[in-house]
Copies of this chain bind each other. A is one copy, B any other.
Amino acid sequence: MRKLITPEMAMTFIKSGSRIMVGGFGLVGCPLTLVRALSETGIGDLEIISNNLGEPGKGLGVLVREKKVKKGIGSYFTSNPDVTAAYQAGELEIELLPQGTLSEAIRAGGAGIAAFYTPVGAGTKIAAGREERTFADKRHVLQEALKADAAFIKASHCDELGNLVYSKSARNFNPIMATAADLVIAEVDELVEAGEIPPEDIVTPHLFVDYIVLKGERGK
C-alpha cells in the first residue's frame, strides 16, 4: 500500500510551529498512536485544533504537559486541569468556539468556503468584538474557515487507496478534519483491499488522505 508509512516517518512531515488538527471527542476517535509519535519528537510550539486537549497525561494531554502546545483552538478544554493551569500561567493561548461553530469552520476550510454567518453565540461573551450581521431579523456572527498544515485523524479501517470508514461515535471530528489540512495522516485499526468497502459506505474518499499509519505500530 503506497500510502502506508510508520508513525515515525509521518512525523518527518511535521515542523515546530505547525498548526495541526487532531480528531476525537476526548479520547474517543483520537489518533493516539500519531499523538504519541509526535510527543516522542522534539517538535513543539504547536497550534492544535481539536475539540479538547485530551486528559491529564493522556492523548493530547501529553503534549500539553510537555509544553509543546502554544495555542489550542477548540470548544471544551475544561475537562483537562493541565490546560487550565497552563492557560492561567500564560503558557498556553486558547481560542474557544461553540462546538458547532468549530466543526462548521473546519468543514468550511475543507470546502473552500471562506467564512459563514451563524446565529450561535450572537449576543454572548464568546462573540464579543466579532463582526455581526442580521439575517431574517436574527443576529448572526461571522466565522472564518479553519485550515491547518496537517490533520491527524483516526478511522476504523481503510482500503489500499486510502478510503476510510469510522467506528460508531469515534467518527466525530475525523471526517471533516480529513478535508481541511494540507497534509492528512490517518491512523487506522485495519487495512482491507480496494473494493472491500462498498462505494456507498465510504465516509472519507481517498482523495483526502495522504498517508496511513497503523494503530499501535511503532519503531519500524
Q: Interface residues, chain A, CB within 8 Å of chain B?
A: 104, 108, 111-120, 135-136, 138, 140, 144, 165-168, 171, 199-201, 203
Contacts and interface: CB of A to CB of B under 8 A. Distances in A.
A112 B118 contact: yes
Contacts of A104: 111, 113
B112 A115 contact: no
A52 to B, nearest CB: 23
A114 B171 CA distance: 26
Contact of A118 (B113, B120, B140, B200): B113
A138 B144 CA distance: 14
A165 B200 contact: yes
Contacts of A118: 112-114
A168 B199 contact: yes
28 contacts: A104-B111, A108-B116, A112-B118, A112-B119, A112-B120, A113-B116, A113-B117, A113-B118, A114-B116, A114-B118, A114-B135, A114-B136, A114-B138, A114-B140, A115-B116, A115-B117, A115-B135, A115-B140, A116-B116, A165-B200, A166-B200, A167-B200, A168-B199, A168-B200, A171-B200, A200-B201, A200-B203, A201-B201
Question: Which 7 residue pairs across A and B have the least CB separation, nearest first?
Answer: A114-B135, A116-B116, A114-B117, A115-B117, A113-B116, A114-B140, A201-B201
The number of times this chain is found in the oligomer is: 2
Contacts of A113: 104, 116-118
A145 to B, nearest CB: 8
A163 to B, nearest CB: 14
Nearest to A111: B104
Contacts of A199: 168
Given A104-B113, A135-B144, A200-B203, 14 more contacts: A112-B118, A112-B119, A113-B116, A114-B136, A114-B138, A115-B135, A116-B117, A165-B200, A166-B200, A167-B200, A168-B199, A168-B200, A200-B201, A201-B201
Nearest to A116: B116
